Structure 1
Amino acid sequence: MAKLVIRLTPKAAHDRIDGWDVDENGRKILKVRVKAAPIEGRANAALLAFLAKELNLPKSRLTLLSGDTSRYKQVEVDGLSDEGLMAQIKTHQGET
């Protein structure tokens, strides 16, 4: 299982991946935007649905581990290694 740290921006014009960055702790983070507002978990649900679509996986294989109300989220992806996840995201980045 792969784990992914995400910086989520809700209420965007389009769902999209903005690319990789490094946070103040040196962790690699993926910047993602979703159209949904951060109300009643809608942005989190939109994030998981968008990532599942981008990774060509069922939504049931993605789990929000932490960051329910934070801009920074940790998502677990079942069925992909960390290397496989990185390769999938590089393949799809910028296509949305």
Structure 2
Amino acid sequence: MPELYDLFPILFVIALAVIAVVAVVIVVQIVANVRRVRQAGHNPLTLQADLTTKLLDSEMLSKDRSTEERLGELDRLHDRQAISEDEYRTARARVLAGR
């Protein structure tokens, strides 16, 4: 039976191979995501800021809309299944609380 010391080079090569495969998978995912974002006409380097700005400027978060309008928008989003049941309940409670 071989000693553990004798198996070290084999285990080392296996560990390096696993690390290399994981690194390749990560790079492929990053490239695919960047391509998808660019095809949609967005800058992948500013995507998070763009989405945050759009959300902050959205009518949904506007205090100028009536409670009825905000609840109606939530109902439409829920009916289209754009938001989950839990998100719908949470958002509805916030609107009704005046937040």
State the structure with bigger RCO (CA 8 A, min sep 6), 1 or 2.
1
- TM-score bracket for the superposition, by shorter chain length: under 0.3
TM-score when scaled to structure 2? 0.25
Question: Who wins on radius of gyration, i.e. which is larger?
Answer: 2
